[in-house]
């Protein structure tokens, strides 16, 4: 509630917003960033009708005209996570997920496109833990990109079951190439609460093809075999190989067990960065 009323006060005093943005970049006041999504929600055209009784509609529109551009300029992270590490001394504690949350609250497609252009249409979410709400925010931003497909990095990402369904729903706007198919299959197969979920959505994205690394946990390959056994038609298996790592014993054993269910087997050489 405190953040909500602070956001409301700022929208009634828009000349203070830029100063608050700058304060959010400092270590001692970085917690103030949590009021920004409330401002995004109140600025949307779908905001509650009671807002017009608190702040003149024209004032809200005037603020909205510059607010999101200022938000992107102030908080957009560097293009790579390697660069983010260099900014630790600045106290910057705003990431891609936070900005996706802001744009999801705003329901502003134009702001999403401006943000994606800033990132050269590359969303690096590696190492993140994505619950349903955050997956919904990411999916919303991704689906706004109609003219250009987005590069998505989900390396070592943890996703909830409901969140996974949100991500699967926006993949038509994502580049289906590089390590992404393997990343999604690993997320799917290694999750304790999801690996038995309907897998047809993943298979339909890439010609009935299942993507696996050449090295991984035994559980990953055992569950891959179980998926193959459930399919009435033989699958095409694609093994992702980084040119240096030999195939692990668990993979070899699983492939031998799954041979009756495999139509074709191919390698994709890829250097992981």
The structure tokens listed for 260 are 């009756």
Q: What is the pLDDT of residues 131-155, one digit of tens each?
A: 999 999 999 999 999 989 999 999 9
Q: What whole-number distance in Å separates Cα of residue 74 and Cα of residue 234?
A: 51
The structure tokens listed for 164 are 């996974």
| Range with the poorest average pLDDT among 47-61, 96-110, 163-177 | 47-61
Q: What is the pLDDT of residues 246-256, one digit of tens each?
A: 889 999 999 99
Residue-range domain boundaries for the chain: 181-273
The structure tokens listed for 111 are 């702001």
Q: What angle do CA 93, 95, 100 make, to 5 degrees?
A: 135
Q: What whole-number distance in Å separates Cα of residue 183 and Cα of residue 233?
A: 23
pTM: 0.85
Q: What whole-number distance in Å separates Cα of residue 79 and Cα of residue 157?
A: 19
Q: What whole-number distance in Å separates Cα of residue 101 and Cα of residue 41?
A: 10
């Amino acid at each position: 509630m405190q953040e909500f009323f602070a956001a409301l006060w700022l929208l009634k005093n828009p000349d203070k917003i830029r100063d608050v943005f700058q304060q959010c970049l400092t270590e001692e006041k970085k917690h103030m960033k949590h009021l920004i999504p409330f401002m995004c929600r109140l600025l949307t055209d779908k905001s509650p009708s009671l807002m017009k009784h608190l702040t003149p509609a024209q004032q809200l529109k005037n603020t909205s005209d510059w607010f999101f551009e200022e938000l992107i300029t102030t908080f957009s992270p560097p293009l790579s996570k390697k660069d983010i590490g260099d900014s630790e001394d600045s106290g910057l504690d705003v990431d891609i997920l936070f900005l996706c949350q802001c744009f999801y609250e705003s329901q502003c497609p134009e702001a999403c496109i401006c943000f994606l252009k800033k990132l050269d249409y590359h969303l690096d979410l590696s190492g993140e833990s994505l619950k349903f709400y955050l997956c919904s925010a990411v999916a919303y931003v991704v689906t706004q990109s109609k003219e250009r497909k987005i590069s998505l990095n989900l390396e070592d990402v943890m996703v909830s079951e409901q969140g996974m369904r949100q991500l699967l729903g926006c993949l038509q706007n994502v580049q289906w190439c590089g390590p992404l198919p393997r990343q999604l299959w690993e997320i799917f197969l290694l999750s304790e609460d999801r690996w038995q979920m309907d897998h047809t959505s993943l298979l339909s994205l890439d010609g009935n093809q299942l993507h696996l690394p050449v090295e991984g946990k035994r559980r990953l390959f055992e569950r891959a075999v179980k998926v193959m056994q459930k399919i009435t038609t033989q699958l095409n298996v694609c093994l992702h190989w980084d040119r240096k790592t030999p195939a692990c014993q668990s993979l070899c054993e699983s492939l031998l067990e799954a041979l009756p269910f495999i139509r074709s087997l191919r390698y994709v050489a890829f250097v992981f960065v």
